[in-house]
Amino acid sequence: MAATDFEWPWQYNFPPFFTIQPVATTKEQQLQSWRNLICDYHKTKRIWEIDTGSDLFNNSAINRHLSPAAIRLILQNLVQEGQGVMSGERCFALWNSVSQWGSLIHSWAADNGLSNTVLTLFEIQSGDETENQPFHGMDIWLLQHVISHLEKEGKAELMLGDNEDFSDAGVKFF
């Protein structure tokens, strides 16, 4: 699945879109539009981690960008509405909820006869077997986060190793 060219919505070229609006109802609208834009952008490009320096927050064509304070506000709102998750300074876009991602991965494992076998997170993320799956290429921290959520639901067991980058982490699906 190749990443496709992203079509910007009209708001992206609307200069005030990059100013947090003072009027509450307008701001609500604006934040909702930002949440949609962030999720659509990342889903189309198949990028999970939000890069605050990208052209998403910086439209050079109209010479407007979001201030750091505005970015913080928007990302906080994104997380609050369940469409983003933070890990320290890093923020990930959730065009599917953590729970939905969990379902997708769990189903894939079941459909491929992989229940009750141990798989590495790396295999799930980058293996040939997942190449056509929507979660292929998912950031490894997020993958671990999704699976630990599955674990809480009793549908998997997460096995963390010593490495901080999860390169030795595994999972068993039930």
Partner 1 sequence: MRRNVGIGAINKQRIVKEKLTQKGNEIAELQLQQVSQQMDVFKHSLEEFAIKYKTEIRKNPEFRARFQVMCSKIGVDPLASSKGFWAQLLGVGDFYYELGVQIVEVCLATRPINGGIITMEDLVANLEKSSGKTRKDVQADDIIRAIGKLSVLGDGFKIIKVGKQSMIQSIPGELTMDHTTALDVASSNRGCFTITSLKELGWPDLRINTAVDSLLDQGLVWVDEVDQSYWVPALFQS
Residue 60 contacts residue 120 (beta carbons within 8 Å): no
Which residue reads 């953590």 in tokens?
98
The full length of the chain comes to 174
Nearer to partner 1, 2 or 69 (CB): 69
* Count of other CB atoms within 10 angstroms of residue 60: 8
Helix (H/G/I), strand (E/B), else coil: 20: coil
Helix (H/G/I), strand (E/B), else coil: 171: strand
Report the nearest approach of partner 1 to the CB of residue 6 (Å).
15
Nearer to partner 1, 14 or 174 (CB): 14
Nearer to partner 1, 22 or 53 (CB): 22
Report the nearest approach of partner 1 to the CB of residue 48 (Å).
29
Nearer to partner 1, 19 or 54 (CB): 19
**Contact residues for partner 1 (CB under 8 A)?**
10, 13-19, 21-23, 25-26, 29-30, 63-64
Which residue reads 């630990």 in tokens?
148
Report the nearest approach of partner 1 to the CB of residue 9 (Å).
10
Residue 137 contacts residue 46 (beta carbons within 8 Å): yes
Report the nearest approach of partner 1 to the CB of residue 102 (Å).
33
Nearer to partner 1, 14 or 122 (CB): 14
Q: Which of 120, 49, 53 is nearest to 88 (CA)?
A: 49
Rg, the chain, Cα only: 18
Report the nearest approach of partner 1 to the CB of residue 45 (Å).
21
CA distance 17 to 11: 6
